[in-house]
Chains A and B, each alone.
Chain A
Amino acid sequence: MYRYDDFDHRFIDERVAQYRDQVRRRLAGQLTEDEFRPLRLMNGLYLQLHAYMLRIAIPYGMLDSTKLRKLAHITRKYDRGYGHFTTRQNLQLHWIKLEDTPDILAELASVEMHAIQTSGNSFRNTTTDPFAGVAADELEDPRPYAEIIRQWATLHPEFSFLPRKFKIAVSASKEDRAAVKMHDLGLYLHKNEAGEVGFEVLAGGGLGRTPLLAQTIRNFVPRRDLLSYIEACLRVYNQYGRRDNLYKSRIKILVQSLGAKKYAEEVEAEWQASDREAVALPETYVAEMQSAFTLPQYDRSPIDEAALQKAIAGNTAFARWVKHNVHPHKVAGHAVVTISLKEVGKTGGDCSAEQMELAADLADELSFGEVRVAYEQNLVLPHVRRDKLFTLWQRLDAAGLGSSNINLITDIICCPGMDYCSLATARSIPVAQRIAKHMAAKEDAIGNFNIKISGCINACGHHHLGHIGILGVDKNGEEVYQITLGGDAGNDAAIGTIAGPSVKSEEVPAAIDRLVEAYMKLRQEGERFPETYRRVGQAPFKEALYASR
């Protein structure tokens, strides 16, 4: 895990001091709310329905037990004893007082954390694979590059007032677990024929009211030139991106209106004209960054695999958990474990201070102190010996963290919706809870299935990419839900299509059930919903969805 050096510590302290002074000026009336808004937003502080919301950055989802305990402490001292993990691998606290925020940022700084640029029209948290560094299908660890980008993007003098927010994701494995194609800028790490590392660069992805997938604008940018190329992408966007309409100012609209080819040409010309050497990444620097992400010293003594298999055979609940929440690790005898934050009936992504502390303890005992946040709003313990799985499961289960539903239909991605958010047009959490309750009994029979729910068109719940997506809208004062079908994240990313008229709130679970039943009847061996949908088309699903009308 990356550790701050003297520069980073000095910087973060300067940032806290600067923010403390900004809050002082606001409280003294020297800054109007209009003037203060962009300043607080650059530190992740939103004003929501009931209180301030603070979004704490978790760079590329990496935590350790010290950081997690600090987060638990902060939720207890300054909030209501829980936090909400988001689809950008961040943590949101929803009941914050403005006067407390400088102290909270100081507490975060003490464990090398911050809330810089978790909002505002600049670079947001760079995200990556939650299995980075331990995934068996990985070409190289993407985190050193994510950290290089994080630092370079922090208070960037040229790009802190972009037309709109800007999100970057990096993936370095065969399977894209970072939903790269829904990002403003996506990076796929490749090796060329000479064995050199570089990046395929995609631009113009994003959800919101105009969902678009990012398109490749360059097949290979040598890693030495990574920053100069990203700068060229941003400079073209900063110059030509629309600023007249909030909903048309993301880079996706620029790429769409110019066409990816023309945008790529503009970037290329800008890049060729720029001084690449000024920001070139020397091999020694990349190596230094890589050395911050080495694997721990694993205990490689033999695993009693027979005992594990016996435990699996003797306990169906544990067997389910192993099946759904335990993933292959590149080091023999080890596993990557996902801790589900999607207990049926609870708010997905929410985590209490006690649960954070338990996860921190378990990380210390069983995972070299490391914890990750996945964009699916779950936690990950990346280095667990297989002979510790049973103990781990028992302790998680006792704390309400034993749900065995990763990638199943109850593992729903859901934004906070109208229960918290001032942008929302409908509630999303209660809908997710009712769907989960309704579908839980047959989730194993259904298999891999992603439902994603957003409480407004801004699509924080990624509904466009759900196998079934649900969008809450306000129709003459009533909350109704629009259903999209066939979306998919990852390598085969697809934007779902709207099925037809919206569904009333109370009818949503049964409607989802009918869609799933239709899928189970129609699917061929090994087919996930989007594949069946692409093969058979919309008609049978539309029929199932509106059967009761």
Chain B
Amino acid sequence: MLLAEDGTLGVDDWHHLSDDEPIPASGAITVSFARWQTAESTLHARADKLGLRLPNTIAPQEIAGDVSRFALIVLSFPKFTDGRAYSQARLLRTRFGYKGELRAEGEVLRDQLMFMKRVGINSFVVGERAIKENWANAFSEFDVFYQQAPDGRPWVMRQRLGPRNTP
């Protein structure tokens, strides 16, 4: 199940291609970073949407020139305590101008959602609990933030300085 940043729930209509599966002629697929490296030209020749599953050990700099080719980048949270993908997300959104869907997968817990949304992640792979426990509430627990972040929410220092000082 997919939770969107606006709190709505949906289904995942992407096919997540494993590395030993042949590349289909059509349909939206995601590939691993390794597959992307070996089959870049084949993947590029396809007309349908392409997504990338980016491990949290790969610096986003590695795909800096390619981000516009992806309609989806899936970031990995192997454990919720492993926060490398927060930096990846922030860099993809701010430094490398990625505009497509940025998805969190792995150990995605309710109380991490707000941090994820703030760094620019806009969809979340979640389980049944998300409905039962109404996880969408997690997005509205705060409306005061102390950091500039990719979600573009107003942040306290700029708010205090007033609109004249907004960059």
Contacts and interface: CB of A to CB of B under 8 A. Distances in A.
Interface residues of A, number: 44
Interface string B125-155: 0000000010000000111111111000000
Chain A interface mostly: helix
A14 B143 contact: yes
Contacts of B80: 38, 161
Interface string B57-97: 00100000000000000000000111110110010001100
A11 B146 contact: yes
Nearest to B149: A157
B161 interface: yes
A266 to B, nearest CB: 11
Nearest to B95: A273
B146 A154 contact: yes
A278 B86 contact: no
A279 B115 contact: no
Interface of B: 59, 80-84, 86-87, 90, 94-95, 109, 111-112, 114-116, 118-119, 133, 141-149, 156-157, 159-161, 165, 167
20 contacts: A5-B160, A7-B156, A14-B144, A18-B141, A38-B111, A121-B83, A151-B156, A155-B115, A155-B145, A157-B118, A157-B119, A158-B86, A158-B115, A158-B149, A159-B83, A160-B83, A162-B83, A243-B84, A273-B95, A282-B165
Given A7-B159, A285-B160, 9 more contacts: A121-B81, A156-B147, A158-B86, A158-B147, A160-B86, A161-B82, A239-B59, A285-B157, A285-B161
A39 interface: yes
Nearest to B138: A18
A536 B140 CA distance: 64
Contacts of B160: 5, 7, 285, 288
A161 B84 CA distance: 8
Contact of B161 (A39, A152, A239, A284): A284
Contacts, number: 105
A542 to B, nearest CB: 43
B112 to A, nearest CB: 8
A277 B81 CA distance: 30
Nearest to B167: A277
A8 B145 CA distance: 9
A39 B82 contact: no
A112 B100 CA distance: 41
A188 B39 CA distance: 51
Given A282-B165, A285-B157, A11 B87 contact: no
Listed residue (A5, A7, A158) with the most chain B CB atoms within 10 angstroms of its CB:
A158
B144 A161 contact: no
Contact of A239 (B87, B94, B147, B148): B87
A288 B160 CA distance: 10
Nearest to A279: B148
A238 B87 contact: yes
Given A159-B86, A288-B160, A17 B141 contact: yes
Contacts of B165: 282, 284
B54 to A, nearest CB: 13
Nearest to A18: B141
B167 A278 contact: yes
